[in-house]
Structure 1
Amino acid sequence: MTSKGTIDLVHLYPREMSIYGDLGNTRCLAQRIRRHGYDVRVHDHDPGATLPETPHLFMGGGGQDSGQSRVEDDLAVIADRLRDLVADGTPMIMICGMYQLFGNAFITVEGQELPGLGILDVTTRGNPTRMIGGIVLDTGLGEVVGFENHSGATVLGGGQSAFGTVRAGHGNNGTDRTEGAVTGHVIGSYLHGPILPANPRLADHLIARAAELATGRPFEPGDLDDAVADQARSRQVRRLLAA
């Protein structure tokens, strides 16, 4: 089969920021890209490395506070490049710790402030109590399910759009029913699980934009069978809403 094009997928800090199954998001994206008929090059971006010349899609995962501290210096180096890519419409999904670092700041329980990129207008403060468990959201892409495990409580800025509304679970802070944040083609979320295999429509939303950037043409989806993922998601929704 002739390839429809090649997509460059970047996983930011896979060693420091990839816990609770987040590597599964990169594997899901790569596999679905191939199943849609495109080629994919996966780039692991470690501290000190150089970003590929033409990245089309980014994934970043969660990590402990120590992991966030270890990537801070490199993130500052590539910050302007990331902001330019965001302005150009490059799709990115940032989970948990990387979601926090794409915000304005993360303030630890001890009061240490880690500055963020400011791509998402959110601010996060660490808490001694963790927010853990299954979660169901209403989003612009339909129902989304996952598993959250975070102590950071995130507050959206006045004009910042949430990724979704919490139907079951905690979300950004356990009080305002918001979860995650969306700016342009950038999505930040606390959902592990990992989120993309459980929600293939979300994965394809990111891939569609990446394919457009990579080829200069509209996305040409393949005929994928997501029945198993759909059944698993529906089962989790029923279980959590009935709890």
Structure 2
Amino acid sequence: MSTYTLSFAHLYGDLMNTYGDYGNFIAFNYYAKKIGVQTEYHLVSLDDKFDAEAFDFALFGGGQDYEESIVAEDLKYKVDDIKDYIENNGPLLAICGGFQLLGHYIEMADGSKVDGISVMDHYTTNMYQDNLTVLKGQRLTGNIVIKNNDTHEEYHGFENHQGRTFLGKDERALGTVISGNGNNGMDKTEGVIYKNVYGSYFHGPIFTRNGNLAKRLLVTSLERKYPGIDWHSQLEAIETESF
């Protein structure tokens, strides 16, 4: 039995997993086991409690507009605990719809508006402005490459979204777009970093193609729960895989 254990929460993994975001857990678990760390997977879905003190890492994946609207209603009962988790530096990976719902609101493809939980300061619109004319947004799809401005790592992935997200106070981009569209196709930002929350539009999923990011967030989780151990050096010795 491993001495070290991380409790992994998958928020709405039965509803918000359209693009195989569960693969992020597979990659996270792979690297954890390589250094003798056990992971415990917990699905947290409709009517379930999210205990901010019970989890060491959380994943919030993407979904279709219908599922996203259902999840938005349930999130109202979890907002305080999710906010506590985030503000206490809980590591969280939010992809596409999960990323959007942590912000203020989302304008859907049909023009309706879904409220997020406003635990972060971004918002997502379905419109954009071109030459002073407001136009309905087209889908932003295709391969994408970004560069993390803090670590200078490059991340590769695939994006497929109609929403255009604009970052707010105390938020910085996960990376600057080298090729592709990013959050909104306008300001060269992709994803978000706020405290230990990492958001992105990368499907595929992001951890399976970018093991360097998976290992980085695994180290963050381990240092938060088990400080005083050189987790970084242990993971540096593990070869980064492409799943």
Q: Same fold (TM over 0.5)?
A: yes
Between the aligned partners of 1:179 and 1:20, the Cα distance in structure 2 is: 18
- Provide closer, same or farther for how the CA distance between residues 135 and 88 of structure 1 changes in structure 2, counting only shifts above 3 A: same
**How far does residue 79 in structure 1 lie from its aligned partner after superposition?**
0.9
Query: Could you list the per-position Cα deviations for residues 59-82 of structure 1 after superposition, in whole angstroms to 9, with x for gaps in the alignment?
Result: 111101101111112211111101
Q: TM-score, normalised by structure 2?
A: 0.88
Between the aligned partners of 1:219 and 1:33, the Cα distance in structure 2 is: 14
- Provide closer, same or farther for how the CA distance between residues 85 and 43 of structure 1 changes in structure 2, counting only shifts above 3 A: same
Structure 1 vs Structure 2: percent identity of aligned residues? Answer: 33
Partner of 2:131: none
Residue 198 of structure 2: SS of its match in structure 1? strand
**How far does residue 192 in structure 1 lie from its aligned partner after superposition?**
0.7
Between the aligned partners of 2:202 and 2:82, the Cα distance in structure 1 is: 22
Gaps of 5+ in 1: 233-243
1:98 and 2:98 equivalent? yes
Residue 208 of structure 1: SS of its match in structure 2? helix
Gaps of 5+ in 2: 127-135
Residue 40 of structure 1: SS of its match in structure 2? strand
**How far does residue 186 in structure 1 lie from its aligned partner after superposition?**
0.4
Q: TM-score, normalised by structure 1?
A: 0.88
Matched letter for residue 11 of structure 1: H
Which has the larger share of helix? 1
Instruction: Verify the 8 A CA contact 1:11 1:43 in the aligned structure 2.
Output: yes
Matched letter for residue 29 of structure 1: F
**How do 1:6-17 and structure 2 match up within 5 A?**
6-17=5-16
**How do 1:182-193 and structure 2 match up within 5 A?**
182-193=193-204
**How far does residue 159 in structure 1 lie from its aligned partner after superposition?**
4.5
**How do 1:198-213 and structure 2 match up within 5 A?**
198-213=209-224
**How do 1:78-227 and structure 2 match up within 5 A?**
78-126=78-126, 127=136, 129-139=138-148, 140-141=150-151, 142-157=153-168, 159-220=170-231, 221-222=234-235, 223-226=237-240
Q: How many residues get paired?
A: 228
Instruction: Verify the 8 A CA contact 2:6 2:40 in the aligned structure 1.
Output: yes
Task: Please list every run of at least 4 consecutive aligned residues from structure 1 whose deviation after the TM superposition is greater than 6 angstroms.
Answer: none
Between the aligned partners of 1:5 and 1:90, the Cα distance in structure 2 is: 17
